Amino acid sequence: MTPFRFRASVVSFFALLGAGATAAATVAATVAFVPSLALAQGSPPSSSAAAGAAGAARASLRFAFVDMQAAILQTEEGKIAKAKIEKEAESKRQDILNQEKDLKKLDDEFQAQQAVLSDDAKKSKQTEFQGKFQKLQGARMQFEQDVRQKEMQETQKIFQNLTSVIDDVAKRKGYDMVFERGAGAVLYAAKIDDITSDVVTSYNAKHKAAKK
């Protein structure tokens, strides 16, 4: 029987650049459901029979979850994507740090000299400071926007490939439902297995990462 698919919106994003820059992306988490029971045709069952059938159904269902964020980062392609983004962002990050240093130096000079500066000189220094501050803010915003866009580009393919690998692993291991850990839809389950590492291993075997 063809699995029924339920898609839920999940914010599952990772910060690739450490302190000073974070990034986020909205992805769709796939929950694959494979029916293990079919309703029999004919007369409706008695209440006791229905209760027994429901208990048997609960006992036979198997559930698992995948941490998509961790899975993306742990795949070989994910590791390469992270290193690529960090390398490309390093020069821009350094430029922002240099602008911050220049701004601090300008402020320190103003604080040390303001007692002897004329009103016109003070106004000139303040205008210069304001201009550089606005430039720095713009550089920060552009930096974060560029990082977010590159993250989405690098991880979208990985995410799409992961969903098919999850299907394969779930079918092979006999799971009826697989949840995305970050979705937060399931508040309690008596027994649910973490198959993240199995998914990562299968992904790496199926999708050989090309060195970039």
Q: Rounded mean pLDDT of 188-194? A: 80
In the chain the first and final C-alpha atoms are separated, in Å, by 41
Instruction: At 37, give phi and psi (nearest 5°).
Output: -130, 145
User: Of the candidates 29, 34, 64, 62, which has an alpha carbon nearest to the alpha carbon of residue 162?
Assistant: 29
Answer whether 75's CB lies under 8 Å from 203's CB.
yes
Q: Is 158 helix (H, G, I), strand (E, B) or coil?
A: helix
Q: Say what angle helices 119-173 and 196-206 make with each other, to 10 degrees.
A: 90
**Which residues, in sequence order, are bridge partners of residue 193?**
64
Query: Could you identify the residue written with the tokens 């995948």?
Result: 66
In sequence order, which residues have a C-beta less than 8 Å from that of residue 51 and are 6 or more positions away? none
Strands 177-180 and 63-66: parallel
Strands 4-11 and 26-33: antiparallel
pLDDT at 8 over 80: no
CA dist., res. 136 & res. 104, Å (int): 12
The pLDDT-based confidence of 77 (bands split at 50, 70, 90) is very high
Answer whether 133's CB lies under 8 Å from 107's CB.
no
Q: Is 9 helix (H, G, I), strand (E, B) or coil?
A: strand
Predicted local distance difference test score (pLDDT) of residue 59: 59
Predicted local distance difference test score (pLDDT) of residue 198: 95
The pLDDT-based confidence of 157 (bands split at 50, 70, 90) is confident
State which H helix or E strand residue 74 sits in: helix 68-74
Q: What is the pLDDT of residues 98-140, one digit of tens each?
A: 999 999 999 999 999 988 889 999 999 999 999 999 999 999 9
